[in-house]
């Protein structure tokens, strides 16, 4: 591609046709991401998108940037490695609430704490879509839609905003797949903000949670400038119901980037093993 020709959102989509169910929110996340990357204007080979496993984690295959569709729950570990080895790249990670908060929950905490300059699309549908509809960490306790939990889970769900703030996240925005233009703006803001940025995307699973079509009526835009102090954000969003959208927190911690990582090369690492 000629670098002087401005790229369009379409240029950031691959030729693969997504196999998501018709109406899945993930289509709009792809649209928003492609728009954000076109607006960012970096060549495709300077962007890496890392994912785990799940319907949402198929995202890299449908983009034209470098991608890695890896192991369940380990997207953030891989993304951190990519960013530390190649700080010149724009690095994103993506995956579902199961991938990021169940099996990957520990990595989520440490990614917030460590603050490597990555933008993470946490595509939340409050269910394990790929494995046919089991409850996830963000599922409400009284949801009885899975045969595994016919009387609900009875367990308090994780609130990604509160969890991220407690763990030291540097940027937290919430978007809705049904509003892809606004979501593109939030993804762009997350990429521009130094450090670990979480874009919590409400992305309906129309197959196993058809009632999530009603999220359209539930979401509302935040009516204040983002908090920059975690205590202020906690106080402001203590009673948050999970449907406030926009940039909810923007901190100013310096990203984690050890000098040593910047000088490591594959040849150097190989030499170290040979010695
Ligand atoms: C180590 C491991 N454990 C379990 C699974 C089975 N598995 C695949 S995807 C998935 C959860 C998917 O849910 P989520 O991350 O919320 O994504 P969604 O499909 O809803 O987008 C699970 C449990 C797996 N692939 N690997
Ligand atoms: S099962 Fe749910 S999350 Fe997976 S593609 Fe279908 S609608 Fe989307």
**Mean pLDDT to the nearest integer, 80-99:** 97
Probe residue for ligand 1, chosen from 52, 107, 130 as the CB with the greatest number of ligand atoms within 8 Å? 130
- Which residue has the CA at smallest separation from atom 6 of ligand 2? 21
Ligand 1 lined by 55 (C-beta under 6 Å): yes
- CA 246 to ligand 2 center in whole angstroms: 24
208 within ligand 2 shell (Cβ under 6 A) = yes
Does 273 score more than 90 pLDDT? no
State if residue 14 touches ligand 2 by the CB under 6 angstroms criterion. no
For the stretch 40-66, pLDDT in tens is 999 999 999 999 999 999 999 999 999
CA-based angle 192:193:197, to the nearest 5?
Answer: 110
* CB of 271 shorter than 6 A to ligand 1: no
Candidates 253, 206, 227; CA nearest to 111 is 253
Q: How far apart are CA 70 and CA 128, in angstroms?
A: 17
Q: Is any atom of ligand 2 closer than 6 Å to the C-beta of 125? A: yes
pLDDT of 266 > 80? The answer is no
* pLDDT reading at 3 higher than 90: no
Residue 199 pLDDT exceeds 80: yes
pLDDT score at 185:
98
Rounded-to-integer distance, Cα 212 and Cα 8, Å = 31
Give me the architecture of the 9-273 domain, per CATH: 3-Layer(aba) Sandwich (3.40)
- Whose CA is closest to atom 20 on ligand 1? 129
Give the pLDDT confidence of 124-174 residue by residue, as tens digits: 999 999 999 999 999 999 999 999 999 999 999 999 999 999 999 999 999
| 213 pLDDT above the threshold of 70 | yes
Distance CA 124, CA 41 (A): 27
pLDDT tops 80 at residue 2: no
Average pLDDT, the chain: 95
Regarding the beta carbon of 126 and ligand 2, being less than 6 Å apart is answered: no
Nearest to 9 by CA among 151, 184, 257, 239: 184
Classify 246 in phi/psi space as left (phi over 0), alpha (psi -120 to 50) or beta: left
* Confidence category of residue 260, pLDDT binned at 50, 70, 90: low
Q: What is the pTM of this model?
A: 0.94
For residue 123, which ligand has an atom nearest its CA? 1
Question: Of the ligands numbered here, which is closest to the C-alpha atom of 206?
Answer: 2
């Amino acid at each position: 591609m000629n670098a002087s020709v401005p790229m369009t959102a379409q240029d950031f989509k691959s030729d693969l046709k997504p196999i998501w169910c018709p109406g899945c929110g993930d289509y709009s996340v792809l649209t928003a991401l492609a728009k954000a990357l076109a607006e960012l204007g970096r060549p495709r080979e300077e962007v890496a998108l890392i994912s785990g496993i799940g319907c949402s984690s198929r995202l890299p295959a449908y983009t034209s940037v470098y991608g890695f569709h890896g192991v369940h729950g380990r997207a953030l570990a891989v993304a951190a490695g990519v960013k530390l080895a190649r700080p010149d790249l724009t690095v994103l990670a993506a995956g579902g609430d199961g991938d990021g908060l169940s099996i990957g929950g520990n990595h989520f905490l440490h990614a917030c704490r460590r603050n490597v300059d990555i933008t993470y699309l946490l595509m939340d549908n409050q269910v394990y879509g790929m494995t046919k509809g089991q409850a996830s960490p963000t599922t409400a306790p009284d949801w009885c839609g899975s045969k595994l939990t016919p009387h609900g889970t009875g367990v308090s769900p994780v609130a990604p905003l509160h969890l991220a703030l407690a763990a030291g996240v540097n940027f937290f925005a919430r978007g809705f797949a049904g509003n892809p233009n606004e979501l593109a703006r939030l993804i762009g803001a997350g990429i521009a903000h130094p450090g670990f940025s979480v874009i919590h995307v409400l992305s309906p699973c129309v197959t196993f949670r058809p009632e999530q079509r009603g999220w359209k009526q539930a979401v509302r835009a935040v009516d204040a400038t983002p908090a920059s102090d975690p205590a202020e954000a906690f106080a402001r969003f203590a009673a948050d119901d999970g449907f406030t959208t926009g940039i909810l927190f923007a901190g100013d911690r310096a990203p984690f980037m050890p000098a040593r990582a910047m000088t490591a090369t594959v040849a150097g690492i190989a030499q170290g093993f040979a010695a």
